[in-house]
Structure 1
Amino acid sequence: MKQKLFIVTNRKLVKNNNMLDIIESSVQAGADAVILREKDLDCSKIIQLAKKIKKITEPQNVPLIINGNMEAALEVNSDGFHTNYADYMNEHFKFKGILGVSVHSTLEAANVQKKGADYLLAGHIFKTNCKKGLEPRGIAFLEDMLKNVSIPIIAIGGINESNIDKLLKTDIYGAAVMSLVMCSDDPYLTTRNLKEHF
């Protein structure tokens, strides 16, 4: 199985570049999927942004997954919808595409698998500025999850070129990066260099 690289958006981390340019560069460099995660935007703004991203991802057959806004996901006919654990467990999402859920424990992973999720986003694995002061969960956390669930697991949190190999030695489905690419001065090169480890 070829493991996959997911790019998670965060326009607030973008310094000099336009976020759409960053997404385009990372897709050209081999990113396998894009998760649009702009939780503070209202639905209409997410729809506008998603339509622009889809023009980049669709011709390359790169799935676009929308985080947290089902209305937008349905409106733009995104490939996937991603949500948090509590919302997934408390609601009944009717969505034809891929359904993903963020989890922070093996118990949560088992619960969302039972309820029918297509994949899990598990983190944070390594130290990251996005989760300041919170201890990373590490590789052992992933390995425990891998023993207990059979749906694809994507790791997130502090992933970079110096630690990606440790991750890829496990049976995870893929790795997701946010700040590494969003803050990069050369998102094409950053993505390509990371992708070369896969």
Structure 2
Amino acid sequence: MLYFITNRKLVSSGGLVRVIKEAVRGGVDAIILREKDLTYKELLPLAAEIKKITQDTNTALIVNRNLTVAKEINAEGYHTGFQEFMETKPSFEGFLGVSVHSVEEGILAEKQGAGYLLAGHVFETDCKKGVKPRGLRFIEEMRRETTIPIIALGGITPENAQKTIKTGAKGIAVMSSIMTAKDPYTLTQIFKSKLR
């Protein structure tokens, strides 16, 4: 499984929608629309536009941290942070994902009803400059202690993707590599080939 997390501020050319179209064409399994600074009014039309792109494809659209938007556009999933998930206990018909940064958080999120865990960061990444990565052992431990799918995140490249899956992750999530790619379609296909 290849999850693609958006960040429109990283797009080098052509805008977010172009990158999403190319990633969908390349076969990405899910898009997590993660534009945290957008208000409900700003996010809703963007989410609706992306939903039109993913409609009738094998790509699921997951909205990050805006449950109202996720429900209004009939997104396939809703994603949130661990703290928020534990405090708000969101109810959503579809994929319910939670970002976790420790095995303990993973165990608690699963007990609370999470459908999948976004676990990271595994390798060094520019998104978390100066923060020590948790490494593959983190994914191995998480796999032993939880039963729901783990999507590994952070510094994952076509070179280390397979290794990550072998440690027990059900899939990988990428952000900056696809967002900044000159050819997001080809890069998505390369990632997908490594996960087969």
TM-score between both structures, scaled by the size of structure 1: 0.96
The alpha carbon displacement at 1:30 in A equals: 1.1
Paired position in structure 2 for 1:25: 22
**How far apart, in 2, do the equivalents of 1:126 and 1:17 lie?**
28
For the residue of structure 1 that corresponds to 2:142, the secondary structure is: helix
Are residues 1:163 and 2:160 paired?
A: yes
The alpha carbon displacement at 1:72 in A equals: 0.8
For the residue of structure 2 that corresponds to 1:196, the secondary structure is: helix
Deviation readout 1:86-115 (Å, 9 max, x if unpaired): 011111212112110000000000001011
Are residues 1:7 and 2:21 paired?
A: no
Alignment of 1:12-161 (within 5 A): 12-161=9-158
| RMSD, aligned α-carbons | 0.8
Greater mean deviation of Cα atoms: 32-41 or 170-179: 170-179
Gaps of 5+ in 2: none
Q: Which runs of 4+ in 1 moved over 3 A?
A: none
User: What is the percent sequence identity of the aligned residues?
Assistant: 47
**How far apart, in 1, do the equivalents of 2:166 and 2:147 lie?**
17
The alpha carbon displacement at 1:170 in A equals: 2.2
The alpha carbon displacement at 1:17 in A equals: 2.1
**How far apart, in 1, do the equivalents of 2:125 and 2:186 lie?**
21
Gaps of 5+ in 1: none
**How far apart, in 2, do the equivalents of 1:125 and 1:34 lie?**
20
Retained in 2: the 8 A contact 1:89–1:112? Answer: yes
For the residue of structure 2 that corresponds to 1:6, the secondary structure is: strand
Retained in 2: the 8 A contact 1:31–1:191? Answer: yes
Deviation readout 1:133-158 (Å, 9 max, x if unpaired): 10111100000000000000000111
Retained in 1: the 8 A contact 2:89–2:112? Answer: no
- Amino acid in the other structure paired with 2:151: I
- Name the count of aligned residue pairs: 195
Retained in 2: the 8 A contact 1:44–1:72? Answer: no
**How far apart, in 2, do the equivalents of 1:73 and 1:137 lie?**
30
Retained in 1: the 8 A contact 2:152–2:171? Answer: yes
For the residue of structure 1 that corresponds to 2:55, the secondary structure is: helix
